[in-house]
Amino acid sequence: MNPGEFDQFWTNSVDSIRHALEHFFELSNQQRHSEEIHHQKWIVISAALAAESFFKAVLLQANEEISNGDTYHSLPRTIQALKPLRLPKSESLITKVAKKVSDQRDEILHRPYDSEIELSHSAILLFGLLKVIERRVDDRPTGIVAECQLLSQEMLAQIKHTSLAEYKRVINQFVAEDYSDQPVEPCPECGANSVLVLAGECVACFADLGHVTCEQCGEGRFYSLDAGDPGCETCFQQSAAI
């Protein structure tokens, strides 16, 4: 592996993630609605570029080819080249999401696109890339992880209801692989099975969580500090059944 080439792709990936985050932030600003299509477009393009660069870095780590002669692989070809590596199931799921974002990028760049661009897969891809980065690049500065944490709610807000099951499937798989020895519970904010009980934090959306024990039944529960404690669901269901 050429360390310099790896560094270039790693830097390109971080820059693209950061660029996507900037547009997620701008999109969340209510005063910028007139520029929504601009931010949506660049989120998709940046997410695809981030995935392509990072997957090339992964191939370099494994001493695999990332080009045909003088031409570097496209994102779909890069994803194809990853298959012999027998990636963990979680990372294979992310490559499938990346392929969807790649197709969407091609639509934006080469064909007329809708007045509103779907961002669900771009957001899921970035959440997934963050987990892969935490797993594979532990010996490098990961300030980008903290930046994603700060804007995680803006990213989560762009995942449509119809895509939440896919988000949960991806995140649940990462958590099952990386935290198999720890008890986990569903996150009251994003719904993924991603709250580490002992740490009291969601490792998917990084929501600010509180914890309380019901005085009646003694059952503990996590709740979103932003939304407030909705009360004990168990006691509520029992009361409704009477």
Residue given tokens 């929504």 in the structure block: 36
* Lowest mean pLDDT across 12-26, 97-111, 136-150, 214-228: 136-150
pLDDT at 65: 85
pLDDT tens for residues 30-70? 665 667 888 999 999 999 999 999 999 999 988 888 877 76
The string of DSSP letters for the chain reads --HHHHHHHHHHHHHHHHHHHHHHHHHH-GGGGGGHHHHHHHHHHHHHHHHHHHHHHHHHHTT---EETTEEPPHHHHHHHHGGG---HHHHHHHHHHHHHHHHHHHHHHS---SS---HHHHHHHHHHHHHHHHH-TTS--HHHHHHHHTHHHHHTTS-GGGHHHHHHHHHHHHHHH-TTS-EE--TTT-SS-EETTTTEETTT---EEEEE-TTT--EEEEETTT-----HHHHHHHHH-
Half-sphere exposure of residue 216: CA atoms within 13 angstroms, side-chain side: 8
Distances (CA, A) of 185 to 5, 182, 204: 40, 10, 12
pLDDT at 76: 92
State the pTM of this model: 0.90
Residue given tokens 């570097």 in the structure block: 72
